[in-house]
Structure 1
């Protein structure tokens, strides 16, 4: 019997996430979840959820209206925010395994009560956005030892890609930071205390890391699929 994974709609990049998940096993089927599909009800068929990257989370969802001027008005979608808020309500109520990538990490942090940096360069940090020609940046990552992430990837240092201009400011009370970039930007979150609910949150894009054997690509997918299969 196949497992079903819901992947939130992120527009033209959605097939990249699908292909990345499907290459793990022939035993997986995908449901695209989004307000354009008007299919929130299909979440009941899902054994796991992947929250994808994409638009800035509207600052009203984390009560920092001063961040609005730092957001790209053409790169926000409140309908998506509302839809994915409803997705999170279902996921955390029913303890569905969840993988949050880039915006997905940020959105879960906001949903659980955390806040975001509106624009990374505005706080004096390095630019973590894509290059102008659309290619991801790559930079070093430090994974804190004795974290779930260190156990998942089997490493405490490595290289990841980067394509974001916002980041975690204050982690939600129930979460802890498990990884940083070399300039101190939060690269991963996990439960502060062990939970039965599988939750993996990464700021980078494992689905787009060019080296398929990079543990920050392969091991993230493997861990998520194993959690979904076991649920």
Structure 2
């Protein structure tokens, strides 16, 4: 069965996400969704959407202007935020299977009404940013045993990569935390009440985890693609 997945434009790292998706199923058609492509209408052809990592979400999108001094003005893109807000509107109105990675988790939490921490280190947490470009930090996480996510990945502890300085502050009312880092940073969100809209939100970068057998790499992709195929099969 031929499926099409939209992947939001994140610049030069976009091919990494494409390769990761195609490693499971090389026949998947990929559409790069972004304001530079001016192709919002193409979302109608997507059976699933992957929200990628990248820039800080502008604080106006989660009503915390006090976070502005904690953001890097050179690392924000309001045009991207505005475009992806419209993508979210379509995705959630039409229950399109959705995967949010790093910024993707943060942005979707903001879209659904949650808020973000402007800078993790400023509130006394460990440094979760990458060591340097091309070298992610790695640390342990704990998955809540009672969560749907734990049932899906089949583990409750493990190692993930880390490349972010912002994170979830208050989850949206419709979401619940399903994973934490050792120092209490939110690492995953899921629906508070499970429903027919498949939604997987992770703070790490599964597409860049070096160990391809790590369930926090391949299981994330499998969850997403299986949901996309199921959705496509009934339409």
State the partner residue of 1:99: 99
Partner SS for 1:32:
strand
Aligned residues: 231
In the alignment, the residues of structure 1 paired with residue 68 and residue 133 of structure 2 have an alpha-carbon distance, to the nearest angstrom, of 26
Mark the runs of 5 or more structure 1 residues left unpaired by the alignment: none
Partner SS for 1:130:
coil
Partner SS for 2:213:
coil
In the alignment, the residues of structure 2 paired with residue 2 and residue 24 of structure 1 have an alpha-carbon distance, to the nearest angstrom, of 13
TM-fit CA distance, 1:26:
2.7
Partner SS for 1:92:
helix
State the partner residue of 1:146: 146
In the alignment, the residues of structure 1 paired with residue 220 and residue 133 of structure 2 have an alpha-carbon distance, to the nearest angstrom, of 27
In the alignment, the residues of structure 2 paired with residue 22 and residue 188 of structure 1 have an alpha-carbon distance, to the nearest angstrom, of 23
Partner SS for 1:230:
helix
In the alignment, the residues of structure 2 paired with residue 108 and residue 140 of structure 1 have an alpha-carbon distance, to the nearest angstrom, of 24
State the partner residue of 2:81: 81
In the alignment, the residues of structure 1 paired with residue 14 and residue 181 of structure 2 have an alpha-carbon distance, to the nearest angstrom, of 26
Which deviates more from structure 2 when the two are superposed, residues 125-134 or residues 11-20? 125-134
State the partner residue of 1:110: 110
State the partner residue of 1:57: 57
State the partner residue of 2:7: 7
In the alignment, the residues of structure 2 paired with residue 135 and residue 33 of structure 1 have an alpha-carbon distance, to the nearest angstrom, of 26
Runs of 4+ that moved beyond 6 A? none
In the alignment, the residues of structure 2 paired with residue 133 and residue 105 of structure 1 have an alpha-carbon distance, to the nearest angstrom, of 21
Superposition TM-score, scaled by structure 1 size: 0.99
TM-fit CA distance, 1:18:
0.1
* Cα deviation code 1:190-225 (max 9, x no counterpart): 000111100000000000000000000010001100
State the partner residue of 1:186: 186
State the partner residue of 2:38: 38
TM-fit CA distance, 1:113:
0.2
In the alignment, the residues of structure 2 paired with residue 148 and residue 156 of structure 1 have an alpha-carbon distance, to the nearest angstrom, of 11
State the partner residue of 1:156: 156
Partner SS for 1:170:
coil
Partner SS for 2:223:
helix
In the alignment, the residues of structure 2 paired with residue 115 and residue 39 of structure 1 have an alpha-carbon distance, to the nearest angstrom, of 28
Mark the runs of 5 or more structure 2 residues left unpaired by the alignment: none
Partner SS for 2:54:
coil
Which deviates more from structure 2 when the two are superposed, residues 20-29 or residues 121-130? 20-29
In the alignment, the residues of structure 1 paired with residue 142 and residue 101 of structure 2 have an alpha-carbon distance, to the nearest angstrom, of 17
In the alignment, the residues of structure 2 paired with residue 152 and residue 106 of structure 1 have an alpha-carbon distance, to the nearest angstrom, of 21
Instruction: Please give the residue correspondences for 1:192-207 in structure 2 after superposition, counting only pairs within 5 Å.
Output: 192-207=192-207
